[in-house]
Structure 1
Amino acid sequence: MNKIQNLAALAVLPVAAALVALPAQAAERPGCPAPSKADVRRSSAAKVDKPARGAAAMKGVRVNHIPKGFTYGQVLVNKHDGMVEYSYQWSDDRDDMSRRHRSLWVRVVCWPKATSVAQLKNAPFRIGTFSGDTTTTKIGDREVLRQGGDGALGAGVYSGWVERPGVVVTVMATPPLVPGLTKIIKGIQL
């Protein structure tokens, strides 16, 4: 298992019972993608998809540009601090320490308090906080917060934005995927 899978497995253990009601709670937040019951179960069981799912890996989210070469994927669902995190990670079979390792993690966070990109620096994410040196850039019509990946996320670039009030999107791309990160971000539709 890679770093994100290990962290995800640890994160879901204490909240597994609360996840059963997750789809109904997320549905109460209009405009925020809600994980299906099947995705909640897959996340709780730490099931891995071989081969990885495609552009519609998450219900209500479309990732229109997924680089080729991913061998497996995993859906992750978590609920805490009044927010619901729904994500999918695509990865290859290379070791996490390999410079050629390719991993892409796209997450949608239903966080009712989110209204601006500046708030992401203080967001109570359990994994993938914006705690390092950040920059703000414009990608298409989105104002995107970016920082170098470190810690649990590993090397690469971590980006995030507020898609609309209450809906945050984050993307983590390992170094081999960074040159195409702008195209990946532009291709995400909710």
Structure 2
Amino acid sequence: MMFATKRLILRELRQSDWPVILDMFNDYEFQENGGLDFTVPRGNEFIERWSGWAKTCLLFTIIEEKESLRFVGFTALHMPIAKNRDADFTIGVIRAQWGKGYGTEATEWVVEYGFRALNLHRISLWVTETNVRAISVYKTIGFAEEGRKMAGKWSDGRWLDQVMMGIVEDGRSLKNLERT
């Protein structure tokens, strides 16, 4: 299965993606910005565990540039309790692709697809308070801050808050999104 936005392709996970995914997760700044676990080198056991998680997602896509087919990152919607139609959103963008608007473009597409095609009621996420670029993207798309897990992440010698954000399909926090 493959989807497209203006500049991106969102496609299925392939075996050939694992080396670049492992490189992405072995980037110190990437781990510090996105992860909750210890920032440590990752290896094959990480790939096995992460692969198992990806298979349980409602939607999991690899993001590529449409023109060059270069790896950009991944998105995921994970819905552990289907009854509530509330999916947890995750996105990871390789550092070489930061600042190009790809995260915004992919997030907009996933949110719209989640509501329109997957019949979700809400989409939730957690983000570290220091990841101001991601928080700005989420707010631009229509996510609202719903709460904080105070001192929920130990990072670089200090405690940081984890910010919970959500967007609801009935428009309370959803901005109008153009279909691409």
Which TM-score band applies after superposition, normalised by the shorter structure?
A: 0.3 to 0.5
**Counting helix residues as a fraction of each chain, which structure ranks higher?**
2
Structure of greater relative contact order (alpha carbons < 8 Å, 6+ residues apart): 1
